[in-house]
């Protein structure tokens, strides 16, 4: 979809949609504005943002003020009015949203705040205008253009459409700028929850963070070790352990439970033992965790504000989990398997249209030539043993071939592309008993798998990009409407038992969101969880968001 260029568009659409005339009678405002605009405020501020150059922004800024009869927007009776004060208050508090107040010229605004001369007041007005509009643009679309970092990984970040004409008309006409600007933040439950955790972790940082636990032998229940005192202090800081239990060097049952709680929150094996992985997670600095929270808050700015669905399915790639229900109140949760780091599951949203029971699996050309062909060279009966059939070509009516009649040792990878390999329904089918389809350009879908033993693993990046579910029948029943629509587990299992391919079209399509979240808050108990950055996306975003000279 077309990427909005917010700051430039904001400035371009306002020449005919301002407040009724609030004429400032102080002489010289017009001349001062002309001179200020002529010098290029955006150029002076090096305001190259949201894909536009400062010089272009200055042109539109000039059009904006000329369209307002060269009168200030926020100055009245020789000082900043209440709406301008509200703007500064919100910009000053931008850090609570993981934003940087410096991006909105807060210090420069403060420099002119108590000035009374005309030129200073005009500069104050222009800075408030630029700061306010950049803040709105950042909250509505995100601070950076991630798709420029990696167009494939961050394609979803360009998938936002904003009606800037309506939005900015509302901005310049809002009687309460504080309320208006607060409404620009992402409206999602998780965003607000992460915002609270950001405040909590900044308090932890302000008091010195948590202690680093020295390396040494594995710490286990029943042990006595001086490092256990440090371990207790570390867990007490994040409330995994009661602060009253820090003065002991013994690894008692209470400490074991605290370690398990920490491990669960960090998606580690909950064995109560402090091995290398657990120790490494405990020693990650609080500053790094703060950045991780901010990065995940930023991702919510990429979502369409219309994601307020009563029924939805969401997949968290980094969390290896899919959920279904209402936001914050899910009916179904299932562990999932996602794409390997070199077969990354993409981030996108779409709509679930139908469920296929007892599906065929048509191998992709890349799987056929890179994985199936080598097996055929070793064993010409490979297809037969795996319930697979071979077809001459990719058309629906392509004739079926006898694999035993082909000398596979002479077939190249390029020649393999002309064959279509299809696996029939059955216990060996790679898609398992069903698949849930939301047609998309990535050819990604939710499906069952015969390899359920893989769900015992904590880190489950094993697929070619599609999403395998541990509880496919439960998800299918929910997607199809659940018991109230006649879709209980018994009916699902009966269809599967028939071993015949069957397609069921949804009466009401369901939106699905494939997300990448490395931290989230459990709505039930407000516990903060962290996940490993399996695809390195946090690292890429951190380099853009927190680089010294960004």
Instruction: Compute the average pLDDT of residues 463-484.
Output: 96
**Residue 2 — pLDDT band, cuts 50, 70, 90?**
very low
Contact in structure between 79 and 128 (CB atoms under 8 Å): no
* Per-residue model confidence (pLDDT) at position 26: 46
DSSP letter for each residue of 523-550: TTT--EEE---TTSHHHHHHHHHS-TT-
Question: Could you give the angle at the alpha carbon of 390 between the alpha carbons of 386 and 391, nearest 5°?
Answer: 155
**Residue 7 — pLDDT band, cuts 50, 70, 90?**
low
Cβ neighbourhood burial of 424 (10 Å; 0-12, 13-18, 19+)? middle
Averaged confidence pLDDT in the chain:
90
Helix (H, G, I), strand (E, B) or coil at 186: coil
Name, in order, each residue with C-beta under 8 angstroms of 123's C-beta and a sequence gap of 6 or more: 36, 41, 112
* Per-residue model confidence (pLDDT) at position 9: 59
* Per-residue model confidence (pLDDT) at position 304: 83
Asked if the model's pLDDT at residue 18 lies above 50, the reply is no
Asked if the model's pLDDT at residue 155 lies above 80, the reply is no
Q: pLDDT, tens digit, for every residue of 361-371? A: 999 999 999 99
Distance CA 341, CA 338 (A): 9
Distance CA 283, CA 183 (A): 37
Q: Give the whole-number percent of the chain exceeding pLDDT 70.
A: 91
Distance CA 41, CA 115 (A): 18
Name, in order, each residue with C-beta under 8 angstroms of 229's C-beta and a sequence gap of 6 or more: 246, 247, 248, 249
* Per-residue model confidence (pLDDT) at position 20: 39
Distance CA 23, CA 73 (A): 9
Instruction: Compute the average pLDDT of residues 256-279.
Output: 96
Distance CA 91, CA 178 (A): 10
* Per-residue model confidence (pLDDT) at position 64: 86
Instruction: Compute the average pLDDT of residues 422-428.
Output: 90
Token pair for 494: 């009966």
Token pair for 208: 């010195």
* Per-residue model confidence (pLDDT) at position 4: 44
Say which residue, 87 or 78, is predicted with more confidence.
87
* Per-residue model confidence (pLDDT) at position 308: 59
Distance CA 550, CA 538 (A): 16
Token pair for 442: 């990535």
Asked if the model's pLDDT at residue 199 lies above 60, the reply is yes
Say which residue, 12 or 319, is predicted with more confidence.
319
Q: pLDDT, tens digit, for every residue of 283-318? A: 999 999 999 999 999 999 988 886 557 899 999 999
* Per-residue model confidence (pLDDT) at position 12: 56
- Can you give the length of the chain in residues? 550
Beta-ladder partners of 325: 312, 330
Asked if the model's pLDDT at residue 16 lies above 70, the reply is no
Name, in order, each residue with C-beta under 8 angstroms of 373's C-beta and a sequence gap of 6 or more: 408, 411, 413, 416
Helix (H, G, I), strand (E, B) or coil at 450: coil
Distance CA 463, CA 480 (A): 25
Q: pLDDT, tens digit, for every residue of 512-530? A: 999 999 999 998 889 999 9
Instruction: Compute the average pLDDT of residues 101-120.
Output: 95
* Per-residue model confidence (pLDDT) at position 476: 98
Q: pLDDT, tens digit, for every residue of 34-45? A: 999 999 998 888
CA 129 and chain centroid, separation = 30
């Amino acid at each position: 979809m077309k990427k909005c260029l917010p700051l430039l568009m904001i400035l371009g659409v306002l020449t005919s949609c301002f407040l009724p005339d609030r004429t400032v009678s102080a002489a010289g405002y017009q001349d001062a504005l002309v001179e200020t605009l002529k010098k290029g405020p955006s150029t002076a501020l090096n305001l190259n943002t949201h894909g536009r150059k400062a010089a272009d922004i200055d042109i539109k800024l000039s059009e904006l003020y000329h369209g307002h009869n060269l009168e200030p927007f926020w100055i009245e009776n020789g000082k900043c009015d209440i709406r301008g004060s509200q703007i500064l208050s919100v910009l000053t508090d931008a850090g609570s949203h993981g934003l940087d107040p410096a991006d909105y010229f807060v210090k420069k605004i403060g420099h002119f705040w108590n000035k009374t001369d005309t030129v200073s007041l005009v500069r104050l007005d222009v800075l408030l205008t630029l700061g306010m509009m950049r803040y709105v643009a950042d909250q509505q679309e995100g601070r950076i253009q991630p798709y420029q970092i990696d167009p494939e990984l961050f394609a979803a970040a360009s998938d936002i459409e904003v009606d800037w004409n309506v939005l900015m008309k509302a901005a310049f006409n809002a009687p309460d700028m504080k309320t208006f600007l607060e409404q620009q933040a992402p409206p999602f439950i998780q965003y607000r929850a992460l915002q609270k955790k950001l405040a909590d972790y900044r308090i932890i940082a302000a008091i010195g963070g948590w202690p680093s636990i020295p390396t040494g032998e594995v710490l286990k229940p029943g042990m006595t070790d001086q490092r256990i005192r440090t371990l207790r202090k570390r867990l007490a800081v994040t409330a995994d352990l009661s602060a009253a239990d820090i003065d002991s060097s013994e690894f008692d049952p209470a400490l074991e439970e605290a370690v398990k709680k920490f491990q669960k929150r960090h998606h580690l094996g909950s064995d109560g033992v402090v091995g290398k992985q657990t120790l490494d997670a405990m020693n990650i600095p609080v500053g790094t965790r703060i950045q991780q929270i901010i990065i995940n808050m930023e991702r919510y700015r990429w979502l369409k504000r219309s994601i307020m669905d009563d029924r939805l399915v969401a997949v968290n790639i980094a969390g290896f989990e899919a959920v279904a229900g209402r936001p914050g109140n899910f009916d179904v949760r299932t562990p999932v398997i996602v794409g390997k780091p070199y077969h990354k599951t993409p981030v996108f949203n779409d709509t679930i249209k139908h469920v296929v029971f007892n599906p065929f699996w048509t191998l992709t050309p890349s799987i056929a030539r890179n994985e199936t062909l080598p097996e055929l060279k070793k064993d010409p009966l490979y297809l037969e043993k795996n319930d697979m059939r071979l077809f001459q070509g990719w058309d629906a009516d392509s004739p079926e071939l006898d694999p035993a009649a082909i000398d596979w040792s002479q077939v190249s990878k390029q020649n393999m592309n002309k064959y279509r390999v299809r696996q029939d329904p059955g216990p060996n089918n790679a898609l398992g008993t069903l698949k849930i389809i939301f047609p998309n350009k990535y050819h990604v879908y939710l499906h069952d798998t015969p390899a359920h033993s893989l769900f015992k693993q904590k880190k489950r990046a094993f697929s070619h990009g599609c999403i395998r579910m541990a509880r496919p029948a439960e998800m299918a029943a929910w997607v199809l409407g659940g018991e109230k629509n006649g879709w209980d587990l018994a009916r699902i299992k009966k269809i599967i038992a028939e071993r015949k391919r069957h397609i069921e079209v949804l009466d009401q399509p369901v939106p699905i969101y494939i997300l990448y979240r490395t931290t989230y808050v459990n709505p039930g108990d407000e516990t903060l969880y962290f996940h490993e950055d399996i695809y390195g996306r946090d690292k890429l975003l951190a380099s853009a968001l927190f680089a010294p000279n960004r």
